[in-house]
């Protein structure tokens, strides 16, 4: 959705190494925002985005107008069902319908052979992979690992909302995920204890308000009742002040 940061640039550079022609689409999509969410104030910097795209070796940037993507009378949507029921799908019920619809439209317009998405939005990537498979789209989906700041905070366009104090508080997300991953590596496999460890670490930060802290299958985004090696996704969504941040690790 634009307001590119180094995480996006990493995606572009990885795609540049894999593609003969590299296309970047930028569109702040209204249908994936809820009625009380931040569509109107979502950060935008088209001039800066174009400069970053140019430096990353992008061949074309597609930045459509709203009326081109959602003409008057628009009423057609693409929806994935099971993979959208957990995590962000619970607290943002129409979010993924907006995501799948706009990405399907962009895929139809661009006709890519390969598409690159960041794994910070892990559920989004899983949902889009499901859509591509189910609709027989001839597209190879590539997920790129989360790019982090030096202190571990996952790069996000919404980080710009954080005050200096909130920016420091936001480190509780990755701190909790990191401790959870380390506990698994030391032999802990009980999901209840692992989730308690994760929640308690986040709750130590007084300004943090948990939306969800959970674990699901990394493949299906469905609930699990026991640890699955290499396939268990620990995911969090936490409000720091008024800013909702997400992060995850697969262990």
Q: Which residues are catalytic?
A: 8
Q: Encoding tokens for residue 147?
A: 């790019």
Q: Encoding tokens for residue 21?
A: 């022609």
DSSP 48-111: HHHHHHHHTT-SEEE---HHHHS-TT--------GGGSSTHHHHSTTHHHHHHHHHHHHHHHH-
CB-based contacts of 97: which residues, under 8 Å, 6+ apart? 31, 32, 77, 78, 79, 84
Q: Give the Cα separation of 7 and 250 in Å (integer).
A: 18
Per DSSP, helices labelled H in 78-203 are 88-91, 95-110, 122-134, 164-169, 171-185, 191-203
Q: Encoding tokens for residue 2?
A: 């634009």
């Amino acid at each position: 959705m634009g307001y590119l940061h180094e995480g996006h640039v990493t995606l572009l550079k990885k795609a540049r190494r894999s593609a003969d022609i590299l296309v970047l689409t930028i569109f702040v999509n209204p249908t994936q925002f809820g009625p009380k969410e931040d569509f109107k104030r979502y950060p935008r910097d088209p001039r800066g985005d174009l400069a970053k795209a140019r430096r990353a070796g992008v061949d074309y940037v597609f930045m459509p107008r709203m009326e081109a993507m959602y003409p008057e009378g628009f009423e057609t949507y693409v929806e994935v069902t099971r993979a959208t029921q957990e995590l962000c799908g619970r607290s943002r019920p129409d979010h993924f319908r907006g995501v799948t619809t706009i990405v399907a439209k962009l895929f139809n317009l661009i006709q890519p052979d390969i598409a690159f998405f960041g794994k910070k939005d892990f559920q989004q990537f899983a949902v889009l992979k499901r859509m591509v498979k189910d609709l027989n789209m001839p597209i190879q989906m590539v997920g790129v690992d989360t790019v982090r700041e030096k202190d571990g905070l996952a790069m996000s366009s919404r980080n710009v909302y954080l005050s200096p104090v909130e920016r420091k508080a936001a480190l509780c997300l990755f701190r909790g995920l990191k401790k959870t991953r380390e506990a698994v590596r030391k032999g802990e496999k009980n999901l209840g204890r692992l989730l308690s460890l994760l929640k308690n670490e986040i709750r130590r930060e007084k300004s943090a308000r948990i939306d969800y802290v959970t674990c699901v299958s990394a493949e299906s985004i469905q609930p699990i009742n026991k640890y699955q090696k290499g396939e268990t996704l620990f995911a969090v969504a936490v409000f720091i002040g008024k800013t909702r941040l997400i992060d995850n690790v697969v262990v």
